[in-house]
A and B are shown apart, each in its own frame.
Chain A
Amino acid sequence: DIQMTQSPSTLSASVGDRVTITCRASQSISSWLAWYQQKPGKAPNLLIHKASSLESGVPSRFSGSGSGTEFTLTINSLQPDDFATYYCQQYNSYPRTFGQGTRVEIK
């Protein structure tokens, strides 16, 4: 199975900050990576697919990059609505696997 490791597990930031979350795969997954945002009590919401393709309707302050084994999710100018937990997910192979999540909290 491909292990997905996110860092950090928790991130404290202020409104307006630029935030970067890293996701590492235990083996190459090319660009077959998605990022999701989840708020408490809600279902996850797809932000980015294929490592860097922004999902329709997602604000342009979100961006993704990377390929192979190392990926990043960047949020430019963090907004109050962005405080949430973020997950990466690989779809290069089965079983599909998720990172453990990164909680972005208010500093």
Chain B
Amino acid sequence: QVQLVESGGGLVKPGGSLRLSCAASGFTFSANYMTWIRQAPGKGLEWVSNINIGGDGVYYAASVKGRFTVSRDNAKNSLYLQMNSLRAEDTAVYYCARGIYSMDVWGQGTTVTVSS
């Protein structure tokens, strides 16, 4: 079935780095734009970044621009989010989702906690 599975979350100290992955299955990953969205504990949804099919068109929220990098490997059906210079305010559940307009398929999320 159509599925997205995130991984790579964890506890990291302020200033540290993490790389999130999102494995896609059940659909043609290489034909779909993809998005990362996050949700801080008890808060609403925040769009983080998205990427086009070829990986050469990307957009970022101002809050992460210059620190986060989105990429994809269509041969591996995978989406990535490299997160550097992490801050406490980056603590959230990170979701990958299919699409860059409305998002019709979401993963279950992976939790990132930034704390000393």
Residue positions of A touching B, CB distance < 8 A: 32, 34, 36, 38, 42-46, 49-50, 55, 87, 89, 91, 94-101
Q: How many residue pairs, one in A and one in B, have C-beta atoms under 8 Å apart?
A: 51
Residue positions of B touching A, CB distance < 8 A: 35, 44-47, 50, 59, 61-62, 95, 100-104, 106-109
The interface residues of chain B lying within 8 Å CB-to-CB of A98 are 44-47
A38 to B44, CA, bound (A): 10
Inter-subunit contact A96/B44 (CB<8 Å): no
B101 touches which of A32, A38, A99 (Cβ 8 Å): A32
Counting chain A CB atoms within 10 Å of each CB, the highest count among B50, B103, B104 belongs to B103
A78 to B22, CA, bound (A): 34
Inter-subunit contact A43/B45 (CB<8 Å): no
A98 to B44, CA, bound (A): 8
Nearest CB of chain A from residue B107's CB, rounded to whole Å: 6
Inter-subunit contact B101/A94 (CB<8 Å): no
The interface residues of chain A lying within 8 Å CB-to-CB of B102 are 34, 46, 49-50, 89, 91
